[in-house]
Amino acid sequence: MANSYTQIHLQFVFAVKYRNAVIAHTWETDLYKYITGIVQNNKHKLIAINGMPDHIHILVGFHTTQSIADLMRDIKANSSKWINENNFTKEKFEWQTGYGAFSYSKSHVQNVINYINNQKQHHTKQSFLDEYIALLKKFEIEHNIEYSFKELL
């Protein structure tokens, strides 16, 4: 829309179904490039992307012509299809239902970039579930622990 100006920075966090650690180092960079393409094709700016074998963090400069839910649907559906078509996993790959979306001011963007870029080091000290719950608490988001990202039983 003409004359509409926004500056919206969102961090998305989402996990592999049952938090299975199946995102392998050998193809994670290609996955990040593929997700970057999805984000850019939807007119958003990918600022940072990184993760662990069981989850991903993305920082996006968000364009307001698409809803958050639609972007996440596109990322998860298209990347799952791509992973499965390339037979990167032994079993059918799926993302877990749900995601976290957290907004940041411009003054916090560099800290979030650093945080995302240092995921592997960060997770030597804190589990994904503890990290995710800490984010929910930091942003004062009401949640039910029963519906947080589940581990394989």
Q: Residue 20: what are its φ and ψ, rounded to 5°?
A: -65, 135
Examine the pLDDT at 147 and tell me if it is beyond 60.
no
Question: Where are the alpha helices (H) located in 42-141, listed in sequence order?
Answer: 68-85, 109-117, 119-122, 128-138
| Domains: count for the chain | 1
CATH of the domain at 49: 3.30.70.1290
Q: By residue range, what is the domain housing residue 114?
A: 9-147
* pLDDT tens-digit readout, 45-82: 999 999 999 999 999 999 999 999 999 999 999 999 99
pTM (predicted TM-score): 0.86
Torsion sign across C-alpha atoms 83, 84, 89, 95: positive
Q: What is the pLDDT of residue 145?
A: 62
Q: What is the pLDDT of residue 55?
A: 94
Q: Please report which confidence band the pLDDT of residue 151 belongs to, taking 50, 70 and 90 as the band edges.
A: low
Q: What is the pLDDT of residue 137?
A: 81
Average pLDDT score, the chain: 90
Flag whether 60 is in a domain: yes
Flag whether 113 is in a domain: yes
Flag whether 152 is in a domain: no
* pLDDT tens-digit readout, 89-103: 999 999 999 899 999
Nearest to 39 by CA among 19, 18, 68, 17: 68
Flag whether 3 is in a domain: no
Q: Please report which confidence band the pLDDT of residue 153 belongs to, taking 50, 70 and 90 as the band edges.
A: very low
Lowest mean pLDDT among 59-73, 117-131, 136-150: 136-150
Residue with tokens 């990347």, as numbered in its chain? 79
Flag whether 68 is in a domain: yes
Is residue 95 within 8 A of residue 14, CB to CB? The reply is yes
Flag whether 116 is in a domain: yes
- What CA–CA distance (Å, rounded) separates 11 from 135? 11
Structure tokens at 117: 């870029």
Flag whether 2 is in a domain: no
Flag whether 153 is in a domain: no
